[in-house]
A and B are shown apart, each in its own frame.
Chain A
Amino acid sequence: MSDYLHIQDIHKDFSGLKVLTGVEFKVKQNERHAVIGPNGAGKTTLFNIISGKFKPSSGAILFKGEDISGKPSHVLNRHGLSRSFQITNVFQELSVFDNILSGVRSCYGLRYHFFKKPNHNRSICEKVETILKEVGLTDVQDQPANSLSYGQQRAMEIGITLSTEPELILLDEPTAGMTREETDQAIKMIDKVTAGRTLIVIEHDMEVVFSLADTISVLHYGTILVSDTPEKIRNDQRVKDAYLGEG
């Protein structure tokens, strides 16, 4: 049986700087997979490669048996892969509704249409409204994105990521910069909205990681130190030495 997602010996150099040196792990369908590792370990770079922002220097990414490495981001998105960004990356001057709409209509094939309206049919609007409700932004849907609070912006980042109906979701530090309560709330929301889909999440908060993830991969100096269940990771001596020990 082939795996759902298989990251295969991924290398990435930035003009000499070796950031990833043979990253290898597998993700099962419907799994909650966390990627942890110290700052600068190359986690975001790995997401950039999986999502098609960068080409890997070498290696392959098998998604449902097909090598998707190096494919452009928009193609990957249409294959069912969607990602969020560590630094909020939205359409700042558009309304919250239009931000979510941009992904929903893309999913309905309304990207370059010259005659149809973007909210052409009822189900598009309903889909946008559902997502707004899920991420808790219904009340501010008509406000421009740049008027939102930090927490709301992070919620919108997730809402946009969900808007193209992905089956594989990559979230890059969704709770970064949040308070304890905000984090707890955000995680509850993420848990709910990603149900029935495959999730890979980069997360710093260990409490969150251990409660949310089925599998954890530890990225250290450009390779995966270990990829296993939370219990095994908690007791792994290498991880303790390299990472958990610090905290």
Chain B
Amino acid sequence: MKQKSISLITIFALFLAGAFMPSILKQYHLNMLTEIIIFSLYAVSYNLLLGYAGLLSFGHAAFFGLGAFATAVAITHIPGISLWNVILIGIAATLIAGFVLGGLLLRHKGSYFALLTLAFNALFYAVATKWHSVTGGDDGLSITRPDLNLGFTSIPLNSLTNFYYLTLVIMGAAIVFCWYFTHTAMGKTVLLMRENEDRMKFLGYNTNISRLILFTFTGVIAGFAGVFYTFHFQFVSISAISIDMTTAVLLMVFVGGKKTFWGPILGAFVYIILQNYLSNITDRWPLVMGVIFIIMVLYAPGGLSELIINIKQRFFGKKNNNGDKSATPEEVTS
């Protein structure tokens, strides 16, 4: 299992590198890196739907936003709530939403599925906007991060460095779990869904259950990222649950490439960095992003990850197996 140990070493090296970042980066950049890690998880969860299962959803922000709002609402309305309980509430909320929405969407495929997810996202957005007394409506909600209670000690999270470490460990662990998931029986079942849902049925798979599990799982992961989004900004506005947030994740996944596991992480890096620099230069940065998106879809549909793999193959020959390329061959050749 050479491939496996290379992957594990890569994961370890990334965490180690992450651990040194606070001593290397300025606050501004550490802040940006925190945001990147959170969005990486969001993008990875979306790619499990789009790249792995071949399901195009326009409603992923509903889960992300639900996790984000559940966090802000819980902290606002339950004084003294612990960090862990906030996370639990965020996960519970998205779990229930995933289950209910997944159940309603099960029988719909392709463009119907995509449109219905869009409609649900719009519904969630409308609720967030109108339910002013709970969500703050257009004004949003400001919160302060609760301290991290580890039982024997309590770590204040108002310091950016501390919060960065928490994000690195927890969001990082969630990303690793998603990666592990792609190698499990259910993870491989997801590929069968993409390849041939019809044939699966004749092999004993209940495709409705497969879809429901995947939809709920990816929803919970997106919601988990949403929880940390609110922690990070200590503020949540309706933009967290808007269609823009769905567009953002689509962009990250497309730019990074949906054929590999790590592509969307790369996409999150590029997206957040570009967004930060472009928004300093011009208010019209979404326009620039849109142009980049169009260029990518037209000329590099496999995204940056495919470009990188192609370049690597050109220079190092065909047989090169980098540890980063932890996705198995069938996932790469989507």
Given contacts A90-B196, A115-B184, A116-B184, contact A83 B333 (CB under 8 A): no
Judge whether B110 is part of the interface by a CB distance below 8 angstroms.
no
CB <8 Å contact, A102 and B333: no
- How far apart sit A145 and B205, CA to CA, in the bound complex (Å)? 20
B residues within 8 A CB of A85? 199
Judge whether B189 is part of the interface by a CB distance below 8 angstroms.
yes
B117 to nearest A CB, angstroms?
Answer: 22
The contact size tier of chain B is 20 to 34
CB <8 Å contact, A74 and B204: yes
Given contacts A78-B204, A111-B205, contact A91 B185 (CB under 8 A): no
CB <8 Å contact, B186 and A92: no
CB <8 Å contact, A112 and B202: no
- How far apart sit A91 and B204, CA to CA, in the bound complex (Å)? 15
A residues within 8 A CB of B186? 111-114
- Which of these, A89, A102, A113, contacts B192 with CB under 8 Å? A102
A170 to nearest B CB, angstroms?
Answer: 10
Judge whether A56 is part of the interface by a CB distance below 8 angstroms.
no
Interface SS of chain B: helix, strand, loop or mixed? Answer: helix
Interface SS of chain A: helix, strand, loop or mixed? Answer: loop
CB <8 Å contact, B330 and A144: yes
B residues within 8 A CB of A103? 203-204
Judge whether B183 is part of the interface by a CB distance below 8 angstroms.
yes
CB <8 Å contact, B188 and A118: yes
CB <8 Å contact, B330 and A95: yes
Q: List 22 A-B contacts (CB under 8 A).
A: A51-B202, A53-B201, A72-B206, A73-B201, A73-B202, A89-B196, A89-B198, A91-B191, A92-B196, A94-B191, A94-B192, A94-B195, A98-B330, A102-B203, A106-B203, A107-B204, A113-B185, A113-B186, A114-B184, A118-B184, A144-B330, A164-B203
**Chain A residues in the interface with B (C-beta under 8 A):** 51-53, 72-74, 77-78, 82-83, 85, 89-95, 98, 101-103, 105-107, 110-118, 120, 144, 160, 163-164
**Chain B residues in the interface with A (C-beta under 8 A):** 181, 183-186, 188-189, 191-192, 195-196, 198-207, 209-210, 213, 329-330, 333-334
